[in-house]
Amino acid sequence: MSLSIATWNINSVRLRMPLVEHLLTTWAPDILCLQETKVENSLFPLSPLKALGYEHIAIHGQKGYHGVATISRLPLHDLSDRRDYCGIGDARHLSVVFEKGGKTIRLHNFYVPAGGDEPNREINRKFGHKLDFLDEMKMLHAESEAGLSSILVGDLNVAPLEHDVWSHKQMLKVISHTPVETEALTAILSDGAWVDLLRQHVPAAEKLYTWWSYRSKDWQAADRGRRLDHIWSSGDLAAHLTHVDVLKEARGWERPSDHVPVIAHFDL
């Protein structure tokens, strides 16, 4: 039995709803997790998603900023788990539970703070917020709930490995690839018994990106990307991974997000 989970920082779901509809129509993942939806819950565009058969939708939004949503063809349960990391009221997390192939699965959807431009928390509170957020994420464990498997997805805003960025040397002092960030994310991954599914599918020695800056005049020719979007799972699910799609072509769609969709496929 197949299962497909997609994650995508959409950078305004209302602005880019045609792209979301195209993804759901063409690739038809069982579940799509969106980040940076930038809309409060009462204005979230439910109707076009339900018209495509995605009738089960969990949302955690706020006006104009942040926001996450999990959109599913499968019934979702336990929709109230929306953790307020750092206690400042940002809509950056939600989790749901669903069943497929005889497994009960907890699915976390995250939008980690970007961290601003200066990698020094003493002069940049946004960077301090990011580090505190990552520190709180260390409490997550893939095997913490008896009888439940786990998946964690989202825009984690950290490219942890050398080949997750276009130039390891030049990026070491750039937020998203500084040692303090990469070490924090690696600790969350290893201490929480998570498996990095993208790197299970694509060897760590190969370049792998999911984000290309709007600032580049020709993003495709320059190819100065970063792997900011992630899909992790508990070990029992990782054993069933068949492949991962990184839809690089989406960066060239009309009025695109600067992130592209990533889809993990399992055979359960």
* Cβ(140)–Cβ(152) below 8 Å: yes
Beta bridge partners of 8: 34
111: which 2 tokens? 């939008």
Q: What is the CATH T-level fold of the domain 2-267, as seen in this structure?
A: Deoxyribonuclease I; Chain A (3.60.10)
Nearest to 245 by CA among 210, 211, 212: 210
pLDDT at 190 over 90: yes
In whole angstroms, give the CA distance from residue 155 to residue 8: 7
Question: Which residue type sits at 235?
Answer: G
State the average pLDDT over residues 224-251: 98
* Cβ(6)–Cβ(23) below 8 Å: yes
Q: How confident is the model at residue 217 (pLDDT cuts 50, 70, 90)?
A: confident
Question: In terms of DSSP H, where are the helices of the chain?
Answer: 17-26, 46-51, 125-137, 168-171, 179-191, 197-201, 219-222, 235-238
**Chain CA centroid to CA 20, Å:** 15
What local confidence, expressed as pLDDT, does residue 80 receive? 82
* Residue 3 host element (H or E): strand 2-9
Percent of the chain scoring above 90 in pLDDT = 98
pLDDT at 252 over 90: yes
Q: Radius of gyration of the chain from Cα atoms?
A: 17
Among the residue ranges 23-27, 75-79, 168-172, 230-234, the one predicted with the least confidence is 75-79
Question: Which residue type sits at 238?
Answer: A
Collapsing DSSP to helix, strand or coil, 211 comes out as strand
* pTM flag (> 0.85): yes
What local confidence, expressed as pLDDT, does residue 113 receive? 98
CB neighbours of 169 closer than 8 A, spacing ≥ 6? Answer: none
In whole angstroms, give the CA distance from residue 70 to residue 55: 11
Among the residue ranges 53-62, 78-87, 181-190, the one predicted with the least confidence is 78-87
In whole angstroms, give the CA distance from residue 5 to residue 153: 9
State the average pLDDT over residues 93-111: 97
Give the start-to-end residue ranges of the domains of the chain: 2-267
In whole angstroms, give the CA distance from residue 16 to residue 18: 5
State the average pLDDT over residues 141-157: 97
What local confidence, expressed as pLDDT, does residue 81 receive? 86
Average pLDDT, the chain: 97
